[in-house]
Amino acid sequence: MKEPFDIPFEKFKEYINEEVTFNLGHAYEFVLASAMVSRFADRFDDGTPMDVTPSSVEDVMLKYFAGLRAWEVEQPDGEVDTVVFDGSGLPPEVLYALANPSVRKTRDVQKLVTTAIDAVMKNSTLTRLSKNVISNDEPDLIEVICGGTTGQMKTKSDVDVFINGRENRAAGFSVKYGGVRQVGQFAGSDPIKNMIDGFSSFGMDVKSLVRPIKVAMGSVVGLYTDRKDPVIENDKRLLFTSVNGVFSQITKKFGKSWLSKERNIDAMSNGLLKAARGTEDDLEIIKSGFSFDKKSFEALTRGLVDSSKRGELSWKHMPTGNPTIALYSNNMLVFSIRFRFDADKKKTGYKVRFRLLVEIGKDIVKFIDKYRLIG
């Protein structure tokens, strides 16, 4: 069976044009993984890691699409480390496109490269791991694996790094590119359960507040012929009205007094981290060029506690569009919780599905950087 890079590129022109029309999120996973390979494989004669550069990332991609899957790197003591790159989990159209040098030179892909370099060079976990494999005086096997959409990763992780076996992952990365802010969700056909479970994970008991949603659900049809069924808009209006009422009550019940107590902030911070990590305590988030590594999570928690003590935390209810409540520290949007109404395709038609989305705020990087050097 031919590998993607062996198939004539002309057959796949429908996937791309000069503006690069394939999924940039998946392309970023490949470029980011290439930058990680460079981080582990490119070293000076004394063994210290080189900086990742656009040319070093291009060199990894060029060799990958020429058929290379493993880089052997000699250490100063004579031992040889092996760095393996597996990008096969990504959609074929992404690999077909990136296999073409002219596509890799486009402005869109070059932006992916510079963004990936920024993320990798600033990630404390990758820095530590790259130094460890150099200094341990042992022949190491480093594997960088893209999960993509193949289902081979039954986790929230998009790119995994393994060292000396796959029994224990050295690092896992959930990759977000561009405007993607969602880090977690509570989904199902019962909006009341979604609401209770979602807010409970942040230490907020909303069971006494959700009755308006229960009442509204009594009038919701919930089954549709397609996603353009006019009944959907009526159902959505009913639910959004009730959810906005509940969100308004939540901002009052869990307002300034609740936000001033450190135990509540700890619970809320843990909820945000759990939404991002799921059950994977080692998972980190790479949002474009920023790494939410362990130190970032610690800085986030410090910042929320400090903001609480200063009385700077507050909720803002945004009722237009999808009902949303957002946590602010002064004027900085840290994270938000958004209610979404969807219609998922089933065998007998389309059925309503509700999602409570946890999203990082537009100012979270600035907020974390403010507290990164404190503590």
The reply to whether 165 and 233 lie within a common domain is no
Determine the straight-line distance between the first and last CA of the chain, rounded to whole angstroms: 55
Angle at which helices 364-372 and 294-309 pack, to 10 degrees?
90
For residues 146 and 157, what is the distance between their CA atoms, to the nearest angstrom?
A: 9
Establish if 287 belongs to a structural domain: no
Q: Classify the C-alpha dihedral 121-124-125-129 as positive or negative.
A: positive
Establish if 289 belongs to a structural domain: no
- Choose one of 140, 161, 176: the last residue of a domain: 176
pLDDT, position 21 = 60
Establish if 88 belongs to a structural domain: yes
Mapped onto helix, strand or coil, the DSSP state of residue 352 is: strand
Q: Can you give the three-state secondary structure of 109-138, one letter per residue?
A: HHHHHHHHHHHHHHCHHHHHHHHHHHHCCC
A 10 A CB-CB count for 270 gives: 14
| Cα dist from 238 to 8, 244, 319, 321, 353, whole Å | 53, 10, 13, 13, 14
Establish if 283 belongs to a structural domain: no
**Per-residue tokens: 26:** 């998946």
The reply to whether 93 and 69 lie within a common domain is yes
Backbone torsions φ then ψ of 254, nearest 5 degrees: -110, 40
- DSSP-derived letter for residue 288 is T
Host H or E run for residue 283: strand 283-287
| Cα dist from 40 to 43, 74, 175, 267, 280, whole Å | 8, 12, 19, 37, 23
Give the chain's domain count. Answer: 2
Q: What is the largest CA-CA distance in the chain?
A: 73
Return the closest-CA partner of residue 81 out of 164, 146, 170.
Answer: 164
- Choose one of 176, 204, 224: the last residue of a domain: 176
pLDDT, position 154 = 61
The reply to whether 228 and 318 lie within a common domain is yes
Q: Where are the alpha helices (DSSP H) in 254-320?
A: 256-259, 262-277, 294-309
The reply to whether 18 and 68 lie within a common domain is yes
pLDDT less than 70: residues of the chain? 1-21, 148-154, 347, 373-375
| Cα dist from 96 to 15, 20, 26, 69, 102, whole Å | 9, 12, 12, 16, 12
| Cα dist from 246 to 9, 239, 304, whole Å | 54, 11, 24
Q: What is the pLDDT of residues 132-148, one digit of tens each?
A: 888 888 899 999 999 86
pLDDT, position 325 = 98
- Choose one of 137, 157, 176: the last residue of a domain: 176
**Residue tagged 């289902």 (tokens):** 151
Return the closest-CA partner of residue 95 out of 223, 3, 174, 166.
Answer: 3
The reply to whether 191 and 158 lie within a common domain is no
The reply to whether 264 and 306 lie within a common domain is yes
Establish if 107 belongs to a structural domain: yes
Return the closest-CA partner of residue 35 out of 75, 106, 103, 85.
Answer: 85
Domain that residue 217 falls in? 182-276+294-372
The reply to whether 191 and 87 lie within a common domain is no
The reply to whether 171 and 186 lie within a common domain is no
Q: What is the pLDDT of residues 281-311, one digit of tens each?
A: 788 888 888 878 888 888 999 999 999 999 9
Establish if 284 belongs to a structural domain: no
The reply to whether 144 and 208 lie within a common domain is no
The reply to whether 132 and 226 lie within a common domain is no
The reply to whether 149 and 211 lie within a common domain is no
For residues 111 and 109, what is the distance between their CA atoms, to the nearest angstrom?
A: 5
pLDDT, position 17 = 45
Q: What is the pLDDT of residues 65-75, one digit of tens each?
A: 999 999 999 87
- Please state the separation of Cα 323 from the chain's center in Å: 22
Task: Identify residue 226 by its one-letter amino acid code.
Answer: D
Establish if 204 belongs to a structural domain: yes
The reply to whether 134 and 46 lie within a common domain is yes
Establish if 105 belongs to a structural domain: yes
Return the closest-CA partner of residue 326 out of 308, 314, 343, 341.
Answer: 314
| Partners of 85 in the β-ladder | 144
